Amino acid sequence: MKDYRTFLLLLLLAAALITLFSCCSWIYPLQPVDDANWYMSIGKSMLQGKLLYTDLHDQKGPLLFFLHEWAAVLSAKSFFGIYLLEVLCCFGFLSISYQTMRMFAGKGISLLTTSLVGVLTYSSDFMWYGDTVEELSLPILLYVLSRTLRYAKLGELPRLWESVLIGVGLAAVFWMKFTVLAMCVGVLAALFILAWQRRQVMLLLQSLTWVVAGAAGLTSLILLYFVLHGNETDLYHSYFWFNLSLYTEAGKADASAAWWPAKLAGWLMMVGFVVTRRISRDLKLAVALPLATELLTFVLLKVYLYYFLTIFVFAPLAIYYFRGIRCRAVLYAGTLVVSAFAACTNFNLMTLLTGNFPTAVLPLAETVNADTDPEKQVLTVKSYDTGIYTLTDCLPPIKFFSTPNAYVEELVREQTAFLESRKAKYLIMKTDGFEHYYGSFRPDLQRDYTLIQETKATYRTELLLHPLEFLWSLGYMNGFIGSLYIPEHRHVVYRLYRLKGAKAEKIEPQGLVGEWETYLEDGSLCVLSFSKYQLVRCQIYQRKEPKADKTYSYTCTEDELKLGYMFTGEEYETVKIKGMSATRLTLRGWPQKGVCKFSRRGL
């Protein structure tokens, strides 16, 4: 790269965007989304010798799990490896965006527009919580579109190494999630139309031959894994048959009317882009057909919010409108204001800064980690992967350890048999279980298990859109019809169950955060020692006057302290300590005024 300083700036921008807006970043306490934890759980299990699709089920492509297996090598209890991969993909997306814009405008305006596109792309609701196939596919899809635009504008077909690289990239996307490649059908149609008009069909076929060669090379390496392990049938059943049959039927039932304004807005903006006079006919063709096939998939297939992220591959076309702005001060100020607005409306960042980030799984993980039993097993019942396998040393005990968005009879049989065998020491269930798929599956957890912990979290829904998303992603500034952004949230309760009769290993308190001291009715001193999430020790001192240490005085407005369930797995009667006259608090900002609830462990 000749202009290394420009690409160094783009690399720094990519690192900043992923750090701020992806929950795989080190500034977030955990990755809360179910799908990402599902991928990581499978990646960790593959490191321990389990076979993909044979011992572990998911409907995504194998390359996605190979990447998470590599990430688990770097860090088995965090998403640091995926964070690095996201930074690399974001840098690729920004670099290709910049190079695409340079075909139509100068260096300065292209760099500025690239920065704006990057902020709006990765701060959008379509980014979700990070670690989606759509996000990882952005640079590959954009590179394919960029080469198509170059052929439409300059008549240059990809060189040999570029064709091979495109083939490898498309195969990578195919082996993660083949429906993401819908745009490429329109790209292929546009290329053949342009080549026919220019009498270059044979040259195009030669270039496509090298594309196929590159795709075949990566495909052969992926298939070799399954041939060597003898589970090609499991690959076909889990990745192809499941997505083309069960998952498609489930999607029809889940289709939401809330998507239709977004789909309509996309179609209207595509029509507006095509009829504008600023763009040549060949470029219109190179944009309209890929965009039409992309939007068509949103109409025909099951759609979630993060599916729309791939629309941002058309974002570099915004350069057509920015290059006409002669007053650079207005452009710089507008870019700064819009970027700041986009960052301030990012759900992940705002919930982190306001202390509302969903961390409900952390206390459950600490409870499981506190148990030193090396043979303990955890199962997520009738729910998605909650992240418990990522945050602990436990691995998924069965193939269907997480619940897909479709009814699978094998899942019901396998989870039922595993529960009846009493092999799981801990169970986790969420209140937003799959009642619409597994309403008839109602395991009797109370018979063999005891509820020992309960936490709550708030997540966002996947329904409505931000008003700026399609405006900037499609680059169409002459008209816009968008849907209002109405933030909706779903409240989730996590429940941790423990096998009756199982004993927890007694451990010494580790990672103590502070102590809370209070007087009892008889004048004795009660000292509660606790870690970040749980009470770990309760000591009673028979003395009337505690030592005058440097502590913060705090008056409690309630007259009782409730100690909830004991950690032994048996339900005890609530212990009430009445008559508190004063307390001494040595922990920052906790407990709050009112009744304080703890889960007691290691006593």
437 pLDDT more than 70: no
The pLDDT score that the predictor gives to residue 105 is 85
The pLDDT score that the predictor gives to residue 520 is 54
Domain that holds residue 554: 514-598
Q: How confident is the model at residue 271 (pLDDT cuts 50, 70, 90)?
A: low
The pLDDT score that the predictor gives to residue 529 is 61
The pLDDT score that the predictor gives to residue 503 is 55
When pLDDT is averaged across residues 483-500 and rounded to a whole number, the result is 67
When pLDDT is averaged across residues 536-557 and rounded to a whole number, the result is 42
Say which residue, 38 or 294, is predicted with more confidence. Answer: 38
Q: What is the mean pLDDT of the chain?
A: 75
214 pLDDT more than 50: yes
532 within some domain: yes
Return the SS3 of 528.
strand
Q: How confident is the model at residue 226 (pLDDT cuts 50, 70, 90)?
A: very high
114 within some domain: no
| Number of compact structural domains in the chain | 1
Of all residues in the chain, what percent carry a pLDDT higher than 70? 68
Task: Please tell me whether the peptide bond between 591 and the residue prior to it is cis, using omega within 30 degrees of 0.
Answer: yes
When pLDDT is averaged across residues 176-184 and rounded to a whole number, the result is 93
Q: How confident is the model at residue 485 (pLDDT cuts 50, 70, 90)?
A: very low
Q: How confident is the model at residue 410 (pLDDT cuts 50, 70, 90)?
A: confident
The pLDDT score that the predictor gives to residue 242 is 87
The pLDDT score that the predictor gives to residue 11 is 95
Q: How confident is the model at residue 514 (pLDDT cuts 50, 70, 90)?
A: low
The pLDDT score that the predictor gives to residue 398 is 92
328 pLDDT more than 80: no
Of all residues in the chain, what percent carry a pLDDT higher than 90? 35
CB atoms within 10 A of CB 179: 16
161 within some domain: no
Q: How confident is the model at residue 412 (pLDDT cuts 50, 70, 90)?
A: confident
What burial class does residue 511 get, using C-beta atoms within 10 Å of its C-beta: 0-12 exposed, 13-18 middle, 19+ buried?
Answer: exposed
CB atoms within 10 A of CB 15: 18
pTM, two decimals, is 0.78
Beta bridge partners of 499: 449
224 within some domain: no
536 within some domain: yes
552 within some domain: yes
116 pLDDT more than 70: yes
364 within some domain: no
**Residue (of 514, 523, 536) closest to 580 by Cα position:** 523
Say which residue, 406 or 272, is predicted with more confidence. Answer: 406
431 pLDDT more than 60: yes
Q: How confident is the model at residue 545 (pLDDT cuts 50, 70, 90)?
A: very low
Q: How confident is the model at residue 579 (pLDDT cuts 50, 70, 90)?
A: very low
Beta bridge partners of 458: 491
482 within some domain: no
Q: Which amino acid is at 311?
A: I
* Spatial distance between the Cα atoms of 175 and 47, rounded to a whole number of angstroms: 20
Residue 451 is encoded by which pair of tokens?
């509820």
84 pLDDT more than 90: yes
The pLDDT score that the predictor gives to residue 525 is 59
Q: How confident is the model at residue 346 (pLDDT cuts 50, 70, 90)?
A: confident
When pLDDT is averaged across residues 224-234 and rounded to a whole number, the result is 93
When pLDDT is averaged across residues 220-235 and rounded to a whole number, the result is 94
Cα dist from 141 to 165, 177, 346, 568, whole Å: 12, 13, 24, 53
